[in-house]
Structure 1
Amino acid sequence: MDVCPNEILDLIFSEACVDDGFTGRSLSLVSKRIHDTSRRYTFQSIALYGPHRISSFAHVLDKADLKYHTIRHLYLADRSRFWVEGRPDQDKKRDTPPARIRLLSRPSRPQDRLPIPQMLTLLLFDKYDEQPLSDAISLPRLHELTVHDPSLARIPSPLPRCLSLRRLHVIFALGRPWTAAMSHLAPHLTHLRISGLGSSPLPLMDIVCSLERLPPTAPQDDLASKDAGLVGFPPTLERVLVQLLQNHFHNLDCANQSAQVLLVTPMALHLKNTAMQDVRRRIVLLKPAWMSGNLPELLTGESADVQFYMGLTAAWQRRTEGLESAVWDVERESVLASYGYWAGDQQ
């Protein structure tokens, strides 16, 4: 390796960045220098699909010398990669809670501590199973979290308190109120994205009321800390993106319908008005995702489900590369309503 031209090294390292680690592992086997240099980055960005891989990785960590390893970005899916990416031989077997909890939980002995406390981003693809988040998990440096709403709404045990968490993406699956739990989880949150919000009145009312209680002016640090324990969203929020689910039943000609018919309940209209009246320009109502029939496509494993989660995975991959715009920046054509703007006025 020491005598290779820089052009050849550039090709090798470029390939190593995009092939799921195959080139990197090969290089570490043939070059002691690369092995020693890359050792600390072995587990820096990990994506695990399904119970088998989660259990296997937990077993690897049991045998690894963890003082040399740090996990910064972790993606955990409760079903196999084939299911998420739409292969015909879909395996819908869900993750067994013991493997997932064992991977994330705080060990009782310092020498058993997993390299989780340095984690910066975490994505949990876990719609229906037992709550993956609990106060047994220590994530003191976690900055960004993507999770399904049942993980916040089911509270058989207390949620962890992540004081460093600033960005939270909540994906609706079952639709239950969770704003109070979220405020406990992330009292200093600055960015919140809500995807796939259905028309169920209770969770929608919970969110709208919490948005209405956001302070009209930027809170001071001391006030923010005092208000952190109150029910509702943290007053530290700087940006809130909300995307509703829309049923094709309301209008079969979805591509040509007006913006007005996208808001079919009084609470959805209330949400639109709240966004348009937010003088601090924090709240943005996005154009809706679509569902067919009586159940959201986000729950069925159909093509729209696969596309949604493949997009979510791609956004996570770009986020681990430092591209925060993958989740938090939106194009103007994706906006339904924001302060002083309503897509219906453009038609």
Structure 2
Amino acid sequence: MPLARNSCFRHLFSTQASRLLLLLTSASSKQLPHTGNVSRIQRRECNANAPRPRTSALIAPYQEMNTLETCPHDLLYLIFQDACHDTGVTARSLALTSRRMSAISSTFRYRNLAIIGITRIKRAYESLLSVPEDLRRVHHLYLADIPSEYLHVEPVSPNMRLRGCTGTEKAKRFQLAVDKLLALVAPTLRTLTCVTRNPWQRFILAHMGTTTFPCLESLSLSQTTRMPFHSDAFLPPSPLRMPKLRRLHLAYTGAGYIDFRVGGIVRLFADHCPNLTQLRLSDIDFYLGGKAELFRMLHEMRIPTTEIFPLEGSPISRQLAIGGRMLQYPSHIQRVIVQLQKRGRYGAGDLEAEDMKVLRSMQCLDRDEFMLDNPRISRTYDEWVDEWLEVSDGNFDAWEDPERHSRLTSVSRRSQSCA
């Protein structure tokens, strides 16, 4: 087993990395006298029969810094590898400490990038464009369209949630900036999370078909939109090229309705991503035909469900066709996780309870291919960043944790017994 993946060593390196970063920060912030000046001061004080100052407190930081500078390259590399699993701040800070630290941390300087806002995305593109290709290895990328001051932890009305971040002109500028950045970093990209809250923002997926993502394994797209779910607004004009994509997370915040046309997006990924095995639908509400489409989607993916949901007699059966044909889903998707958006005080609790009741009736409690997650308030930007960091660090508990599934099925059994 490689050294960096051993849990014991990872804990050791994490501890050493924290101590290292604290030392570098404290040493750079202190104004310490030179050791040569200290010796002359001591001689004068000795001649005057004055108490000698304790020199250990003055030279200790230099001794520790010297220890870091002489630390083996391989050990520092492993420490930096573990310490730089953040939004990119640590690696860029290490580059400012010394030439040796800058050289060792250069491998991780652009590995994780979290960029929020149109201006910063443009600035990041211009900066990366001047970086040599062998150092421009962006593995994990987080993009968002508005600054973090628009975060909302408590449930808020749609008007308040969207205030300050609307406008078709901003949507166009954001799309152009993202297209250029993705085209630049796509060859090495492994995880991508894109969160948009402009209601006039076209679905970012509509422009991803022109770029090849040879290494992308995890994709999360969160959208708040008032645009209709038409194919020209949401689907790319050319086939997707993501041969290694394994996990797809779609979230529709705000007016997060899922209807039969969302099935077209899922089918698009399933057709062109042969390794796609896990699908998450989060922060969603059900619109006309949504529950029927979800049931048929699971059925055609051969995801085990109960057979009590009435599909054939549904009044919206004629609307389940796109382009005059019924969508057929492949069977290589192995798990589907669904999470409703909690309506809170601005919604209707009885509608949420009804949707949960229908979904629980579809769930096979002795299987884990279809998982029904607990309803929750829409994720904030900080929460999306936290989930992105977990995935970039190789932690897929939200997807694969069996204990979590056991807890959810226990809740479902209790809910069904009380119904």
So what's the TM-score if we normalise by structure 1? 0.71
Q: Matched residues in 2 for 1:167 and 1:60: separation?
A: 30
Q: Matched residues in 1 for 2:137 and 2:181: separation?
A: 14
Unpaired runs of 5+ in structure 2?
A: 1-64, 154-159, 305-325
Cα offset, 1:149, TM superposition: 5.8
- 2:220 counterpart SS class: strand
Amino acid at match of 1:284: M
List per-residue Cα deviations over 1:120-165 (Å, max 9, x = no partner): 1110102530232231121121111111367995532335232211
Question: Conserved in 1, the CA contact under 8 Å of 2:96 and 2:102?
Answer: yes
2:337 aligned to 213, 236, 241, which one?
A: 241
The answer for the alignment partner of 1:226 in structure 2 is none
Matched, 1:47 2:114: yes
List per-residue Cα deviations over 1:217-245 (Å, max 9, x = no partner): 8xxxxxxxxxxxx9354412222111123
Q: Larger helix proportion, structure 1 or 2?
A: 2
Matched, 1:343 2:415: yes
2:221 aligned to 133, 147, 157, which one?
A: 147
Matched, 1:164 2:262: no
- Say how many residue pairs are matched: 298
The answer for the alignment partner of 2:264 in structure 1 is 180
Matched, 1:98 2:172: no
For residues 50 and 288 of structure 1, do their structure 2 counterparts lie closer, same or farther at Cα, with a shift above 3 Å needed? Answer: same
1:118 aligned to 159, 183, 188, which one?
A: 188
Matched, 1:33 2:100: yes
For residues 269 and 250 of structure 1, do their structure 2 counterparts lie closer, same or farther at Cα, with a shift above 3 Å needed? Answer: farther
The answer for the alignment partner of 1:202 in structure 2 is 289
Cα offset, 1:36, TM superposition: 2.6
The answer for the alignment partner of 1:295 in structure 2 is none
Q: Matched residues in 1 for 2:332 and 2:374: separation?
A: 25
Amino acid at match of 1:121: T
Q: Matched residues in 2 for 1:14 and 1:125: separation?
A: 27
- Please tell me the root mean square deviation across aligned C-alpha atoms, in Å: 3.9
The answer for the alignment partner of 2:211 in structure 1 is 137
Cα offset, 1:310, TM superposition: 2.6
Cα offset, 1:60, TM superposition: 1.0
What are the equivalent positions in structure 2 for 1:1-347 lying under 5 Å apart?
3-4=67-68, 17=84, 21-22=88-89, 24-84=91-151, 92=165, 94=170, 96=173, 97-105=175-183, 114-127=184-197, 128=199, 129-133=201-205, 134=207, 135-148=209-222, 153-156=229-232, 157-158=236-237, 160-173=240-253, 174=255, 175=257, 176=259, 177-187=261-271, 188=274, 189-215=276-302, 231-248=327-344, 262-264=352-354, 269-276=357-364, 280-289=367-376, 298=378, 306=380, 309-329=381-401, 330=404, 332-335=406-409, 341=413, 343-345=415-417
For residues 331 and 207 of structure 1, do their structure 2 counterparts lie closer, same or farther at Cα, with a shift above 3 Å needed? Answer: closer
- 1:198 counterpart SS class: strand
Question: Conserved in 1, the CA contact under 8 Å of 2:285 and 2:341?
Answer: yes
Q: Matched residues in 2 for 1:68 and 1:161: separation?
A: 24
Cα offset, 1:44, TM superposition: 0.8
Question: Conserved in 2, the CA contact under 8 Å of 1:180 and 1:231?
Answer: yes
Q: Matched residues in 1 for 2:415 and 2:296: separation?
A: 23
- 1:76 counterpart SS class: strand
Higher mean displacement: 310-319 or 93-102: 93-102
Q: Matched residues in 1 for 2:252 and 2:188: separation?
A: 28
For residues 232 and 263 of structure 1, do their structure 2 counterparts lie closer, same or farther at Cα, with a shift above 3 Å needed? Answer: farther
For residues 198 and 316 of structure 1, do their structure 2 counterparts lie closer, same or farther at Cα, with a shift above 3 Å needed? Answer: same
Cα offset, 1:287, TM superposition: 2.4
Cα offset, 1:346, TM superposition: 6.2
Unpaired runs of 5+ in structure 1?
A: 106-113, 218-229, 255-259, 291-297, 299-304
For residues 335 and 251 of structure 1, do their structure 2 counterparts lie closer, same or farther at Cα, with a shift above 3 Å needed? Answer: farther
Q: Matched residues in 1 for 2:294 and 2:83: separation?
A: 44
Q: Matched residues in 2 for 1:247 and 1:82: separation?
A: 22
List per-residue Cα deviations over 1:98-128 (Å, max 9, x = no partner): 11111113xxxxxxxx232221111010253
Q: Matched residues in 2 for 1:92 and 1:82: separation?
A: 11
Cα offset, 1:271, TM superposition: 3.1
So what's the TM-score if we normalise by structure 2? 0.60
Q: Matched residues in 2 for 1:40 and 1:14: separation?
A: 9
Question: Conserved in 1, the CA contact under 8 Å of 2:80 and 2:105?
Answer: no
